[in-house]
């Protein structure tokens, strides 16, 4: 015997309404004009960022990862063989002077190397070899741009290195009137201006009032 409610639904002529869970709001980037010009509305946020050479999130992706499009470059990394045996690193070869006895046997080894353990920081410890260290390490000439960067990344880096000029803030008539009232009552005493609760209801500090007066008198 079936459920009465299910039978009633089947007998009803009303069609079931299905809700559309698709997000109707299309992403429209407004932060950067460079990104907005190269944005593809048919792709998702992650697909656009991957194509432009950017990161949508700094952390590793959680959950499943969508399939890459045909036009995207697939960097296939070689899989490590689980049955491969790690080889021992090759020993570094160096020359040394040996001392032999009358029979030709080696008695001791006379090494001329001041760095027997091949320590890369050994050259930085000595103060007498500053000139030699500077020859091995050339002077820093700025940030080197990676050849794999996209045109969008290069444009964003160039835009970040050339910030927009600062806009000059002009005083309003109400601010000029307020400063003039403070000057008429206290003169140059900014501490007394800051303590006045009636004329300074927003509790501006003495340093802030001094900065405003400097711009007011200019």
pLDDT interval class at 7 (50, 70, 90): confident
Chain length of the chain: 218
Lowest-confidence region among 161-165, 167-171, 176-180: 161-165
Q: What is the pLDDT of residue 78?
A: 58
Q: Rounded distance, CA 123 to CA 9, Å?
A: 86
Would the pLDDT of 138 be above 70?
no
Would the pLDDT of 133 be above 50?
no
The pTM of the full predicted model, rounded to 2 decimals, is 0.37
Where in the chain are the domains?
28-56, 173-217
Would the pLDDT of 204 be above 90?
yes
106-110/97-100 β-pairing: antiparallel
Distance (Å) of CA 71 to CA 49, 65, 106, 214: 14, 17, 66, 60
Tokens of 43: 């792709």
């Amino acid at each position: 015997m079936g459920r009465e409610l299910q039978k009633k639904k089947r007998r009803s002529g009303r069609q079931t309404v299905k809700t559309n869970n698709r997000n109707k709001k299309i992403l429209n980037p407004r932060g950067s004009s460079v990104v907005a010009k190269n944005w593809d509305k048919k792709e998702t946020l992650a697909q656009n960022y991957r194509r432009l050479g950017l990161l949508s999130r700094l952390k590793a992706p959680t959950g499943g990862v969508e399939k890459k499009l045909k036009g995207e470059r697939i960097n296939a990394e070689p899989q490590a063989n689980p049955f491969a045996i790690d080889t021992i690193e090759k020993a570094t070869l160096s020359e040394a002077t040996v001392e032999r006895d009358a029979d030709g046997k080696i008695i001791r080894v006379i090494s001329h190397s001041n760095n027997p353990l091949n320590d890369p920081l050994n050259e930085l410890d000595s103060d007498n070899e500053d000139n030699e260290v500077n020859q091995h390490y050339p002077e820093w000439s700025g940030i080197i741009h990676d050849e794999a960067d996209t045109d969008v990344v290069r444009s964003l880096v160039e835009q970040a290195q050339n910030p927009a000029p600062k806009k000059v803030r002009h005083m309003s008539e109400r601010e000029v009137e307020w400063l003039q009232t403070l000057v008429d009552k206290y003169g140059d005493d900014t501490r007394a201006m800051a303590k006045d609760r009636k004329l300074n209801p927003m509790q501006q500090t003495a340093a802030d009032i001094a900065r405003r007066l400097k711009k007011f008198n200019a």
